[in-house]
Structure 1
């Protein structure tokens, strides 16, 4: 689309039949009326499909593995319930997350506890329920040994988290010297400690560094076994990218976007954007990772894992939540400004977390008109109505979308905006009842194969 002869970049999302049916069936305006504000809707079947695809990628590569849903990616109880039903584990980082996972059907031995400097309550619960614990420091290891010895409950199941050599300034993980000390303490810990392997926390989505570090952890397992430790598994965390849009749209956007395309001339650096398109994504990215040959090795990662008899643990969040939900806002104000519109919606950018990381959630929202037949292109050029989207707060910087989105019709008060594919980290990572605005409820769409989908409220207890 073009406005006054100048192209405005668009970023349409990839087609998704389930979400499109929810939009088309007329349910969303009724829910907006019922809740009187923004809300999220969740699609459980997408989570199930993503979990199956990841397991199929492991099986195709001949790799034994376990999948843990990274709960931090979304607070909804739904996804913990689906993980439990599908036999997957859950990655938690607080006592509250651990309790909720247990309460929604996940067995303790199917939990992995991550995060730095875990408090004593969390450590006690993790040991008591047989959860696997990623140890991030020597102090934490000592506290775990004390917990296991004092309570005489059961051994503390642990992974030792390794500081990535390529990211030496990371605040996560043990240095080589700390790792050697930790292994010695695990040996001396006797029956109080069950050292099951190693893990890492690696930023970014590049496959080669992740494969290289995974191979290093396999070597660490072999060395730890010589010391009499179990060392049977490694965790490589998440880091499986997903694609929100197609390659042409993404590259066209990156090549053409500039400050004039954003409200108030806002400037974003391309490197600060999430990679909204990836050549390989989700389960395909896992397959590519397993087929990657780590530096210094003759065989791909999958072969190294098989030969060493090492179980691969994965902790995906975004990759399990691809196409599993969207966020709906109502337009409550429209004003004209220098050739484009400023929309104000009935929520805040705290419900689109990317905006709070010096970035922008780029996928185009879908406009649902209050009056479907009231299409009005009288003051648009080439059928485009550029508009940015602001929040219902007093903060100048509280923008859901700084970008001037080229809508196909003029947005009006009472219309709805549906931000697609927000289940992964976007919809509730930073939500807050600022201005005493209620947090958007989560609606579970249980059936999308009906003319009128069935829905219910999510069971998460705040």
Structure 2
């Protein structure tokens, strides 16, 4: 009888050549020494590639559409710089995000303003700059239409945000009765507003519900046009999944993981985790939505968009940042426990934000020694905690099966963290500085050179 313990399950991410080149370059240990703490590195070329894939999906379906980067997914300036350079829109939800987008060169007409109960400042500046405002309540519509237009400028542009019928408990959007009242209000307002269409944001990643609700919004557009309103665009929001891991690896992990594989025998179920494998992700998910036939119809969504002359707007965040960055922590302590090690790194779990959702960021971190990426045939389980006094401050509760025993001075590189992980929940707790962001020039690596880098936000002169 074999009584050998079964090693904890692994969850490797899809290989990424650009990330592998950075891991093998020797640059990360130099940066860890220079910054004296954790940092994130960013790969803007991946943003451009993901954006191109979304645009190709629209073109291949014959649909007219625009992509807006959901800025909340990552605070780095480089993504907004890429938006400005590529003519991409930005989705913002606060005065600060709006200033960032405008300050980095995104035109006001290419900005959509979302979020509930927008402040007077946000509504005022958005209207002045010609941004498209997603109206979330009748009160907001009243305030927007009643606001004076400075210097006789153009009327505010708006979408009416629809409460998804399948998610009636959502706190966002207008229900059926409110929509009727809002449409009547816009029709009475005449030239005081430009009602350009409707939008929604739907939780989850299923294709058909998105296509169904988009079809409903097209019906609303036709109704609004009869009332004399422009209504020539719809927004389907975000909700495009990222495929982090292969299907076999993901399903094997879910089948194998047990409380004993986590520090303190913490319990997780599959429902607690982000779906780290998705058979339809990113631009492929958009292709599927465009090809789907909305409920009650005969034509695909793309066909209905063409037939009605309607522009499709979308606001991906995580999907535009797929494989566009990693988070790096230096190990500053190793403590042996019963059959595994507890690593302490030089940062906190606040810089790996999945803990915010009472969950776990599951893709395996990569162990990088001063000699390069760790390689071996051993199994050395270890969890990873932050450098704070809190029991709950663990970056990884799971006992990761590393190929060699981690040592002080080694680096843990968490892959593919640009989307909602690296800065959504950051805090200078214990007066620890926020990890800086480093922008890597992939073009230099592509020709066999050493990676060139710069800080995402350069110090002010």
Counterpart of 1:219?
219
Instruction: Render the CA deviation track for 1:436-458: whole Å, top value 9, x for unaligned.
Output: 00000000002332420110000
Distance 1:434 1:223, change over 3 A: same
Counterpart of 2:38?
38
1-structure distance, mates of 2:4, 2:331 = 25
2:167 is paired with a residue whose SS is coil
1:190 is paired with a residue whose SS is helix
Counterpart of 1:350?
350
Counterpart of 1:454?
452
How far off its partner does 1:293 sit? 1.4
Instruction: Render the CA deviation track for 1:144-193: whole Å, top value 9, x for unaligned.
Output: 11224466332010000000000000000001111111011111111110
Counterpart of 1:328?
328
1:290 is paired with a residue whose SS is helix
Counterpart of 2:15?
15
Counterpart of 1:403?
398
TM-score normalised by L of structure 2: 0.96
Does residue 135 (structure 1) correspond to residue 139 (structure 2)? The answer is no
Higher mean C-alpha deviation, range 184-193 or range 320-329: 184-193
User: Please, which runs of 5 or more residues in structure 2 have no aligned partner?
Assistant: none
Counterpart of 1:312?
312
Q: Is the 8 A contact 2:367 2:374 kept in 1?
A: no
Distance 1:374 1:70, change over 3 A: closer
Distance 1:339 1:186, change over 3 A: same
Counterpart of 1:429?
424
Instruction: Render the CA deviation track for 1:107-154: whole Å, top value 9, x for unaligned.
Output: 000000000000000000000000000000001001111224466332
1-structure distance, mates of 2:153, 2:373 = 66
Q: Is the 8 A contact 1:123 1:147 kept in 2?
A: no
Number of residue equivalences: 456
Q: Is the 8 A contact 1:3 1:384 kept in 2?
A: no
Counterpart of 1:389?
384
Q: Is the 8 A contact 1:76 1:460 kept in 2?
A: no
- 1:55-454 alignment to 2 at 5 Å? 55-149=55-149, 152-372=152-372, 383-447=378-442, 448-449=445-446, 450-454=448-452
1-structure distance, mates of 2:319, 2:355 = 20
1-structure distance, mates of 2:111, 2:356 = 29
2-structure distance, mates of 1:413, 1:275 = 32
Instruction: Render the CA deviation track for 1:275-324: whole Å, top value 9, x for unaligned.
Output: 10011111111101111112211121111111111100010001100010
How far off its partner does 1:459 sit? 2.3
2-structure distance, mates of 1:354, 1:268 = 13
Two-structure CA RMSD over aligned residues (Å): 1.7
Instruction: Render the CA deviation track for 1:10-64: whole Å, top value 9, x for unaligned.
Output: 0001010001101101000000000000000000100000000000000000000
How far off its partner does 1:5 sit? 3.0
2:242 is paired with a residue whose SS is coil
Distance 1:374 1:306, change over 3 A: closer
Higher mean C-alpha deviation, range 441-450 or range 105-114: 441-450
Instruction: Render the CA deviation track for 1:75-112: whole Å, top value 9, x for unaligned.
Output: 00000000111111000001111011011010000000
User: Please, which runs of 5 or more residues in structure 1 have no aligned partner?
Assistant: none
2:321 is paired with a residue whose SS is coil
TM-score normalised by L of structure 1: 0.96
Q: Is the 8 A contact 1:333 1:344 kept in 2?
A: yes
Q: Is the 8 A contact 1:127 1:148 kept in 2?
A: no
Q: Is the 8 A contact 2:145 2:189 kept in 1?
A: yes
2-structure distance, mates of 1:303, 1:20 = 41
